[in-house]
Structure 1
């Protein structure tokens, strides 16, 4: 704080007429924001620890933003907790931004509820910087059992709350927002993606058997063995050659895949005959033109998405899915 006052005094000498210098420092901006968020929750002498934490961010706005968003989500932080964070930042050996960012991400991650942590780790299966629809995440979190409540409506509501918390903490970034201000899709930044990928591998959510670029198509605990050279359309061309592991898949997200036309129209029939435990099936944006009668084999299916396809509305009349929650 002494350095700050000295610099301010020197700056005042250059002002004419005499006035307070204009201060646009990021450190000052985020300090003011942190103080505003915590002034009703913390002791008056706690401002120094907030300043020291932000100062240890070395003017890296990502780190400062993560910290301030963590305070916004939970302003009732104890002095002990903040001192521990400050000490951890000071002990970063090489002061690299990457290591400081990891400490700050660990800080905001650590006090998330357990199911919110699982939902965040789940995002590691998606490519970084690629927009992910809110509705896609909510549906997949629910059918994967990452969030559970007493009924479907309560579970979906809880999953939506989780999504909003991740946005509030700046762990995911808004990509598209509705006219009412609701975030409709989000993006995972590079630093957060790297952070959660490491944790997801440790907890077995991102399996070593499944190539990362194929992971988003399937449920997280599927035990499939697919290599980086494998293509998703080739997988379905050999579906009946696959082992019984295929029958355990609960989530199949084929949004945007264009391999259901011509001679490949049997792919969906094969899916409906082989993957009988499916709870989530997205065919959104594919070149699908009809639904086979075998679709009714999917007796566990809770979510079926055929938006942005050429399947005519009358073709859905014969679809009878007893556990359907969203169609």
Structure 2
């Protein structure tokens, strides 16, 4: 069993910095508190170094695993203490506007007296934390956490690499590879190109990249296209000189003459490949540095030599391939028919059918494998010659059960390579996806905001955190850990999901690290383990469910996500350090008692619930960054909402905004309704929000149709707006000269066109930065056609940038 450190090292690494920021604040600390904070800062830095060492141990003992678990809990508690600290000492001082020195002196004295009890509590808690740190530090000295003598590193375990079977696979028993082999072979040959060419094969772990490359070389070998060939696996911990280069030399000639110098080995390789048409497979490439060295080994004699690279990283595949990334083959998954053939051949033997009593379970297992060859082969192999229905049911619900079967261990071993290659900040983001059910379509914008609310994004500048989070997501997608489902008009992903095999894998990892606690409807609250819950995902909640047991396990919860009925939501009054509360789509009544006491709450989604009113004091949630109440019964927001100075994403749909919305300077994303009579004033206020980048407006044009008034955007304001979405019953929109200077994406959705068949939309050509226009009508008609024609003419004929126009009428493109 590998030790589960994962994302913890990243969080522990951030804590010394957060403690340093705390020391820089001008708080009236009791004597000794500042010294204790400095002590924690120093000890946590050393402890994080020990965690990194523990993470390298292949088979840790129970003492080491226990110690890591204790450090994890301590790190969480210290971060909670830091985040709550400021709220205990604000004392309303942010509202102070006194300029007189006398007033300031009296006020400081008053605040010091008023917060004296809180400061004693803080000091006591700090002493407890210090004692725990000291004890764990002593444990680290008492117990040895170093790798055993002679340990050479590596995380692959003692088992045989499952990829080795690809080298010696019986071609006649492979399925689903005929077309890919022909296609890649055609890319490799490219008879019109005599220069050295690199073809990359990229795909998810276990998709058959190694098998495909092997079969391509076999196929080409039969046709005698090349003078020599070599196949070498680089791996996650490469030994370029000691293994990789020597292996290539030994395959293309009788020997390599000894020596360990990389430069000498490269020279020997180039010499022996000179004037030879060769094909070299560089399998399982992970890093740019290794490729930079390897590509120096291969001379280009313009005689048609080829290199095939396999990798799990799409970005690396593009960097390696020829023709600016065009020579890439993205390997897909098996079809249902090929999956069935592979599974039945492995599980029951070639030519044998599936017993009737196992047919439904076989279908469930294949559905979870979702065409991933390695998963199908490993699980079917593990179940071969096993007739127990219980064992088959275990895999039908989770492909990686808590067992020691060779099948699941081999699969875990391959997936572990991808997971271990992630830096700590990406491990946290990846594990977080275990919150969502299997095959769940994850909205990317919501995911990014939740990552930020959880503190996974290290960039402290608010304006850049979304961009940083998006770069994390892009990295995970390029590593084939996350699969994109849908794209926006501008080409960016709008939703994503996980392959069921990867989902099952990260669920196992999350449970090992106590990162997420998953509770299913069939699981009784009493059957939950006694570990402290940090993140709760309540899945398949049904109407009769009772709330999760209220005890000490919930008081440290940082996030609660519920799928199903809201009756399972724990009491909010018991979760003082909650950062994320996501009840999107929950059915039944929602209890918000105690909501305004969640001082650390940063993300609140009540979208699609039965909520009809928000608490009047919601403005007390000063840390709140995202509020989503779309598709609810909320008609109007409380006036206190404008006090939320940190709110970046306000998504209220058809709800009416309060006055003085201009005070919410931090807003980046806004979805709201504009009422006909106050449209001008609302638009003017919104235009003053200098950080606003995305705006969604819901308008009821029926109130103003008679006067032919339009939703008009002025020439000033909206300086940062990039995307605008308008929902209205009728097309009554105008853009004056120089309005929305930085708008790039414009989306307009109307129910029907104007009865007099006029356009109703004017000034699109005035949006100088526009790149894409999307116009949609629910109903077809001459009025809709007139509007579409006018918008097309403005975009394609009058606009200097000729933005792309997409049209949907009555659900048809």
TM-score greater than 0.5 by the shorter chain: yes
Write the distance in 2 (CA, Å) between the matches of 1:28 and 1:71: 23
Aligned position for 1:252: 581
2:199 pairs with 1:36: yes
Answer yes or no: is the 8 Å Cα contact 1:115–1:146 preserved in 2. Answer: yes
The residue matched to 2:611 in structure 1 has which SS? coil
**5 Å matches for 1:159-308?**
159-207=469-517, 208=529, 209=531, 213-214=537-538, 223=556, 233-236=566-569, 239=571, 244=574, 246-260=575-589, 267-268=591-592, 270-308=593-631
Aligned-pair CA distance for 1:212: 6.7
Give TM-score, length-normalised by structure 2. 0.28
Q: Deviations over 1:244-270 (max 9, x none)?
A: 4x112111001012334xxx6xx22x1
In the alignment, which of 41, 49, 62 is matched to residue 232 of structure 2?
Answer: 49
- Asked whether the equivalents of residues 214 and 232 of structure 1 are also in contact (C-alpha less than 8 Å), the reply is no
How many angstroms apart in 1 are the aligned matches of 2:482 and 2:512?
21
Q: Against the structure 1 CA distance between its residues 231 and 134, is the aligned structure 2 distance closer, same or farther, given a 3 Å change threshold?
A: closer
- Given the alignment of the two structures, is residue 116 of structure 1 paired with residue 426 of structure 2, yes or no? yes
2:140 corresponds to 1:140: no
Q: CA RMSD in A?
A: 4.2
Change in CA separation of 1:131 and 1:292 when aligned onto 2, cut-off 3 Å: same
Q: Is the 8 A contact 2:564 2:586 kept in 1?
A: no
Whether 2:185 is the aligned partner of 1:24: answer no
119-128 vs 164-173, which deviates more? 164-173
Q: Is the 8 A contact 1:296 1:321 kept in 2?
A: yes
Q: Does 2:397 correspond to 1:74?
A: no
- Residue aligned with 1:161, SS: helix
Counterparts of 2:605 and 2:580, CA distance in 1: 9
The Cα of 1:292 is off from its aligned counterpart by: 2.1
- After TM superposition, give the deviation of residue 326 of structure 1 in Å: 1.5
Q: How far, CA to CA, are the matches of 2:568 and 2:578 in structure 1?
A: 14
Query: Contact (CA 8 Å) 1:176, 1:183: kept in 2 or not?
Result: yes
**Is contact 2:538–2:568 with CA below 8 Å preserved after alignment?**
no
Change (3 A) 1:251 1:215: farther
Q: How has the CA–CA distance of structure 1 residues 281 and 213 changed in structure 2, closer, same or farther, with 3 Å as cutoff?
A: closer
Q: How many angstroms does 1:46 deviate by?
A: 8.9
1:214 aligns to what SS in structure 2? strand
2:441 and 2:450 map into 1 onto residues whose CA distance is 15
**What SS is found at the alignment partner of 1:299?**
coil
Q: Secondary structure at the match of 1:37?
A: strand
Higher strand share: 2
Query: Which residue in the other structure is 1:155 paired with?
Result: 465
Larger helix proportion of the pair: 1
**Cα distance, 1:196 vs. partner?**
1.3
Could you say which structure has the larger radius of gyration?
Answer: 2
Structure 2: give runs of 5+ residues left out of the alignment: 1-165, 172-176, 189-196, 202-227, 234-280, 285-308, 321-373, 383-405, 518-528, 542-547, 549-553, 558-562, 651-813
CA distance in 1, matches of 2:623, 2:179: 56
Distance 1:150 1:128 in 2: 32
8 Å CA contact 1:126–1:216 kept in 2: the answer is no
C-alpha contact 1:142 1:156 (8 A) present in aligned 2: yes
Distance in 2 between residues matched to 1:146 and 1:68, nearest whole Å: 31
In 2, distance between residues paired with 1:97 and 1:37? 29
> Structure 1 residue 153: deviation in Å?
2.2
SS at match of 2:538: helix
TM-score normalised by structure 1 residue count: 0.65
Aligned length: 262
Structure with greater contact order relative to length (CA < 8 Å, sep ≥ 6): 1
